[in-house]
A and B are shown apart, each in its own frame.
Chain A
Amino acid sequence: MDTLEVKNLHVAVDDEDGHQVILKGVNLTMHTGEIHAIMGPNGTGKSTLSETIMGNPKYEVAEGDILLNGESILDWPVDKRARAGLFLAMQYPAEIAGVTNAEFMRAAINARRDDDHQISVREFIKKLDEKMALLDMPDEMAERYLNQGFSGGEKKRNEILQLLMIEPPFAILDEIDSGLDIDAMKVVAKGVNAMRGPQFGTLIITHYQRLLNYIVPDVVHVMMDGRIVKSGGPELAKTLEKEGYVGLRDDLGLDVPLTDDSDITPGKGEA
């Protein structure tokens, strides 16, 4: 069993609005075999948390630690974290012309293997065919350039395809449901559920409860203003859907400003 721990994590980012503290002490422990969901209103730091765990150099850890199997990974560059077992399905995957999807995925698989155990072309193609069929992806998407000209839905599917091909111990899915219609969401959920098992743990970041009808989590965390304010079972997501973030905030007696669009409104993506 692998363990990912986030301890008292404080994170700041420097952007056009200046130096902003976004995470203000996040604590989270997850193991392989578990599915966690983090829900929360817009601008509360959910994406910052996922990018910081992955190691996006834009985010600066001010305090706290991130541990993988007990070892701090804060000083590790993103590629080392990936090879150690972390995967982030991104909200905005980069487009790279001239590099095919298949070529990239093969390189990603081989990056985890030593020179004597590289995946054979045959083995790779077999696995790719199988996973693409599972996600209802047409064959030609393997030979298209990485994310280039992909629709929003195709990009999300492609992120899940990479997840299925790489099979990491831990995956963070950052708003994998945003902009997807119900059919596409079901396909994505099918992909994630196929990974489910004792060797796999996932952290699902979402604004809406809807996705959690298809990927039922073991633990639900609610994040507000840079902290996890409440954790519970899958029923917490249902409660949130009924009461909204404002209701939960008031129940908890928190003095946290919520932005205009913070209530759960199905059909709206997070900007």
Chain B
Amino acid sequence: MAAFGPKQLDPAAIAAAYGPLDADPWLTTQRQAAAAAYADAPWPEFAKVTFHPWKLFGDGTAAGVTYPEGAPAAPAGVTIQPLLTAPAAVLAPFKPYLFHQTAPTDRLTAYHLAHLNSGFLIRVPDHFHSDQPLVLNTQLLAGVNAHRHLLLLVGRDAQITVVDHFTGEAGADSADSIVTEIVVGEDSRVDFANVDAFGANITAFVRRQAQVAANGILNWTAGVLNDGNIIADTSTNLVGTGSTADVKVVALATGKQVQGLNTRVTNIGRQTTANILQHGVILENATLVFNGIGHIVKGARGADAQQENRVLMLSRTAHGDANPILLIDENDVKAGHAASVGRVDASQMYYLMSRGLTKELAQRLVIRGFLGAVLTAIPLPAIQQQLIDTIERKLIHGQRIAHQQS
């Protein structure tokens, strides 16, 4: 489907086409509402990223995803069920949350909600504690547009680790949307890691939105290693008093792709603590934009919002941006930011090379060190290693291309 998307969506046509996917007619009414909101909804904001002409729109009722390791399994006590086939009774406890954080207030979210073709509902009950992680391995299919929605609902005084891992199938183009809602209950701790490695054929809008209740902790690690054009919004609302979000993002941009990332934490409750750490590397002709957004709303007394956004560029034709955006509407707060866009440190390169390491290997070590602050925070060693391997592979590929061009 064309760039810029359709001018409007017809709720009746959406209901006719997608309604048959929904076990609970309530879902269809949600689709219709999103379709109705679409025409007047503004584009989502990604500062310094021109994504509007991308092929972000594509319909279809086929799921657009597959699970290379079988349907996701949850640790005992945790329930996980497909969103669309959930009957009303199953859906009922999720309804107070489902689509609440991702209301159709922007064009791309509205499009996503109207066209949902896969998704999961995960419920982690009160007092649940487990060291066993819940891992979702999802592959985005080539040529089939995926609109996948996930709701992770974590009760009170619970603790869980969730890894949401995406890969892409090579082949025909697709326009995908991945939207996730996370609810962290009071006194709960959630370690959430998403690793996005979509293929070059996939253009995607990614939105993950979390809310954290009183004294809840969300440790969020995001690995953004896609090959295609991506806009990704990772946002957390610290709603409850004393809640904390620690968001770490590692990103690698290669080829001609553009990856535009908003990483936002909004301090709403009192004594809330927000930390954003983003480290990214850009090779070849790629573009990587980090918008770090720290917002302290009026009334969030004693809030603390810190962020650090750093980008390393490995080629002269790379484009990088690290924009710290601090919006502070309360006086009694602490906030700070650091940002840099630079090249690999010459004295580090000299030192490593003086021990015989080739320029390429020295560069990869410096980069791995640079990304290490985030990589080591990934909760699952296997996923961590996979990420390191993917980065290594992309770096070697990028260096080879740079070498051919020089």
Contact = CB atoms under 8 A, between A and B. Distances in A.
Interface of A: 54-57, 77-79, 82-83, 87-88, 90, 93-99, 104-105, 107-108, 111-112, 145-146, 162, 166
Interface of B: 345-348, 350-359, 361-362, 365-366, 368-373, 375-376
A17 to B, nearest CB: 19
A56 B96 CA distance: 64
Contact of B351 (A87, A90, A112): A90
Interface of chain A, main secondary structure? mixed
A93 B350 contact: no
B358 A79 contact: yes
A111 B365 contact: no
B63 to A, nearest CB: 39
21 contacts: A77-B359, A78-B353, A79-B356, A79-B357, A79-B362, A83-B356, A87-B354, A90-B351, A93-B351, A96-B351, A96-B366, A98-B372, A98-B376, A99-B366, A104-B355, A107-B355, A108-B355, A108-B357, A111-B357, A112-B356, A162-B355
B368 A98 contact: yes
Kindly name the residue among B346, B347, B356, B357 whose own CB sees the greatest number of chain A CB atoms within 10 A. B356
A82 B365 contact: no
Contact of A88 (B354, B368, B373, B376): B354
B356 A108 contact: yes
Nearest to B361: A107
Contact of A111 (B348, B351, B355): B355
B369 A145 contact: yes
A96 B353 contact: no
A79 B359 contact: yes
Contact of A98 (B353, B354, B369): B369
A88 B354 CA distance: 7
A90 B350 CA distance: 11
A57 B349 CA distance: 11
A97 B348 CA distance: 10
A186 B362 CA distance: 32
B351 A94 contact: yes
A99 B353 contact: no
Contacts of B368: 98-99
B351 A77 contact: no
A111 to B, nearest CB: 4
A54 B352 CA distance: 12
Contacts, number: 80
Given A87-B354, A98-B369, 10 more contacts: A56-B350, A57-B350, A77-B353, A79-B354, A87-B355, A94-B352, A96-B351, A96-B365, A104-B365, A108-B355
B344 to A, nearest CB: 11
6 interchain residue pairs of minimum CB distance:
A98-B372, A98-B369, A94-B351, A82-B356, A108-B355, A111-B356
Nearest to B365: A99
A110 B336 CA distance: 43
Contacts of B354: 54-55, 78-79, 82, 87-88, 90
Contacts of B370: 97-98
Contacts of A55: 354
A131 to B, nearest CB: 15
Kindly name the residue among B348, B350, B362 whose own CB sees the greatest number of chain A CB atoms within 10 A. B350
A55 B359 CA distance: 14
Kindly name the residue among A54, A79, A93, A111 whose own CB sees the greatest number of chain B CB atoms within 10 A. A79
Contacts of B357: 79, 107-108, 111
Contact of A79 (B347, B353, B365, B375): B353
Given A104-B365, A107-B365, A108-B357, A96 B350 contact: no
Contacts of B351: 90, 93-94, 96
B347 A111 contact: no
A93 B355 CA distance: 11
Contacts of B355: 82, 87, 104-105, 107-108, 111, 162, 166
B300 to A, nearest CB: 32
Contacts of B350: 56-57, 78, 94
B369 A96 contact: yes
A53 B25 CA distance: 77
Contacts of B345: 94
Nearest to A165: B355
Contact of A97 (B361, B362, B369): B369
A146 B361 CA distance: 15
Contacts of A54: 354
Contacts of B373: 97-98
Kindly name the residue among A54, A55, A99, A146 whose own CB sees the greatest number of chain B CB atoms within 10 A. A99
Contacts of A94: 345, 347-348, 350-352
A121 to B, nearest CB: 17
B349 to A, nearest CB: 9
A157 B18 CA distance: 69
A87 B351 CA distance: 11
B389 to A, nearest CB: 15
Contacts of B366: 96, 99
A94 B361 CA distance: 16
B372 A97 contact: yes
Contacts of A98: 368-373, 375-376
Contacts of B356: 79, 82-83, 108, 111-112, 166
B93 to A, nearest CB: 43
A95 B365 CA distance: 12
A95 B369 CA distance: 10
Contacts of B346: 57
